[in-house]
């Protein structure tokens, strides 16, 4: 009997997906439950597993796009396959056969709703959440887009794989057409990168983005960290990083200037009486921004453990949509890559994003004398529709005050 492999539904608002890569070859023997390929949408990357044992026939190649529910391969349980064959297109698929109903997945709330997502979404037997795509947009050139909606509820295999008609794409504005030159290499933009570009342009087109700068003397934070980092790692199993100091300081500054922690919904301003902080994490596929929920209720240990958990999931491709949805404020550490100064781009509907940068020794005036101090430039990009210049500058002054006097952050082991 031949069993169809379908392009899965990966979200209630997603109608088109593309094949990122096949993990099995055409004609290869596969087992029920083995991962066959990775599917990419504009919001997430997921694994598709076999639902039968037999020889695999590949019908759609890596890079091809198709509507949700399309047949992309077949597994013939009456044939013993071999390994090592190159993927190749084959005969037309057979009709899908009904299967037992799948568990319903609760939808995750989108960031624009202003409410906090709760819980993660379960996945079906042949679909495993792998790497969630667009999160916040940390820095120009290293950007990610906005949050994703939850998984759609399904009941039968036919319903789960039923194609959904994609809405007509808007006509792009007329512009100069590029003519390929010798040595040019044209590669289709991935769906994730298209989504990133869309969200970045949306942020620039809708928000009144302005960036203000300050600098902080990192002497006190570095001394406190150096004093405790070995004992901290030995006791808790995670390193004591600068990011936890900045997260705690940001929380305190957001409490003082709540406009930076707010968002616009139509003609209303939504103030969040909690701090869900997005932290940019670099991965092989680009930056993602998982969210530390309830950061305002956490101490240094809890923050470091949560960051380590999310960073591991991000680099292993195991982030779920619930890990990325929401967030009220974002921190991006461009200093990891050596950036001395940058202007971060907002992650809608958030009204603020903080850019950290490289710590560099510079001469500064201290009590009338020139001293060499480890200094860091800080950048706050904010939505001027909500946040006035006074509020933005005050936020950075508050942040600097906590970082230059870290005992106010009540550090504890």
Domains of the chain: 1-95 (2.40.50.100), 195-409 (3.30.559.10)
Cβ neighbours around 10 below 10 Å, total: 26
Write out the two tokens for 28.
């290869």
Per-residue pLDDT of 334-364, as tens digits, reads 998 999 999 999 988 999 999 999 999 999 9
pTM: 0.67
DSSP string, 107-139: PPPPGGG-SPP-S-----TTEEEEEE------B
Confidence of residue 121 (pLDDT cuts 50, 70, 90): very low
CB 212 within 8 A of CB 382: yes
Q: Is the pLDDT of residue 290 over 60?
A: yes
- In the chain, the N- to C-terminal Cα span, in Å, equals 61
What is the rounded CA–CA span in Å between residue 138 and residue 144?
7
Q: What are phi and psi of 152, to 5 degrees?
A: -80, 145
What is the rounded CA–CA span in Å between residue 245 and residue 253?
12
Q: Is the pLDDT of residue 158 over 60?
A: no
Q: What are phi and psi of 262, to 5 degrees?
A: -105, 180
Cβ neighbours around 128 below 10 Å, total: 16
* Residue 259 DSSP symbol: G
Tell me the mean pLDDT in the region 85-107: 38
323-358 per-residue burial string, b: 16 or more CB within 10 A, e: under 16? bbbbbbbbbbbbbeeebeebbbbbbbbbbbbbbbbb
Higher pLDDT, 198 or 264: 264
Per-residue pLDDT of 16-64, as tens digits, reads 888 888 999 999 999 999 999 988 876 667 889 999 999 999 999 988 8
What is the rounded CA–CA span in Å between residue 310 and residue 37?
24
Confidence of residue 286 (pLDDT cuts 50, 70, 90): low
- Of the listed ranges 58-67, 125-134, 232-241, 251-260, the least confidently predicted one is 125-134
Q: Is the pLDDT of residue 332 over 90?
A: yes
Residues serving a catalytic function are: 384, 388
Which residues touch 270 (CB under 8 Å, ≥6 apart)?
114, 262, 263, 264
What is the rounded CA–CA span in Å between residue 241 and residue 300?
9
When the pLDDT of each residue in the chain is averaged and rounded to a whole number, the result is: 79
Q: Percent of the chain scored above 70 by pLDDT?
A: 75
């Amino acid at each position: 009997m031949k069993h169809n492999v379908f392009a899965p539904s990966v979200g209630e608002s997603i109608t088109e997906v593309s094949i990122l890569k096949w993990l099995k070859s055409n004609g290869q023997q596969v087992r029920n439950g083995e991962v066959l390929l990775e599917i990419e949408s504009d919001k997430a990357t997921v694994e598709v597993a076999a639902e039968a044992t037999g020889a695999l026939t590949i019908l759609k190649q890596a890079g091809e796009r198709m509507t949700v529910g399309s047949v992309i391969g077949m597994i013939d349980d009456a044939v013993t396959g071999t390994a090592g064959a190159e993927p190749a297109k084959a005969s037309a698929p057979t009709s899908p056969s009904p299967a037992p109903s799948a568990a319903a997945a609760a939808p995750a709330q989108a960031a624009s709703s202003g409410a906090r997502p709760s819980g993660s979404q379960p996945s079906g037997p042949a679909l495993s959440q792998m790497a969630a795509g667009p999160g916040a947009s940390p820095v120009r050139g290293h950007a990610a887009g906005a949050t994703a909606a939850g998984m759609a509820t399904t009941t039968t295999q036919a319903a789960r794989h039923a194609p959904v008609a994609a809405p007509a794409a808007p006509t792009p504005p007329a512009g100069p057409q590029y003519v390929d030159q010798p040595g040019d290499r044209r590669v289709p933009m991935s769906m994730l990168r298209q989504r990133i570009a869309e969200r970045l342009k949306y942020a620039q087109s809708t928000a009144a983005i302005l960036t203000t700068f300050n600098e902080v003397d990192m002497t006190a934070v570095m001394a406190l960290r150096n004093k405790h980092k070995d004992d901290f790692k030995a006791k808790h199993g995670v390193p004591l990083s600068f990011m936890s100091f900045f997260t705690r300081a940001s929380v305190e500054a957001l409490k003082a200037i709540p406009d930076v922690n707010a968002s616009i919904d139509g003609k209303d301003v939504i103030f969040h009486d909690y701090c869900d902080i997005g932290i940019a994490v670099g991965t092989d596929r680009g930056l993602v921004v998982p969210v530390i929920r309830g950061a305002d209720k956490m101490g240094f240990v809890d923050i470091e453990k949560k960051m380590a958990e999310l960073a591991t999931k991000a680099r292993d491709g195991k982030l779920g949509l619930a890990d990325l949805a929401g967030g009220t404020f974002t921190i991006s550490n461009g200093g990891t890559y050596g950036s001395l100064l940058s202007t971060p781009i907002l992650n809608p509907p958030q009204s603020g994003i903080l850019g950290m940068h490289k710590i560099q020794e510079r001469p500064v005036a201290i009590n009338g004398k020139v001293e060499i101090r480890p200094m860091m430039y800080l950048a706050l990009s904010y939505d001027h529709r909500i946040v006035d210049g006074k509020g933005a500058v005050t936020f950075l002054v508050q942040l600097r005050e906590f970082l230059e006097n870290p005992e106010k952050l009540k550090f504890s082991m």
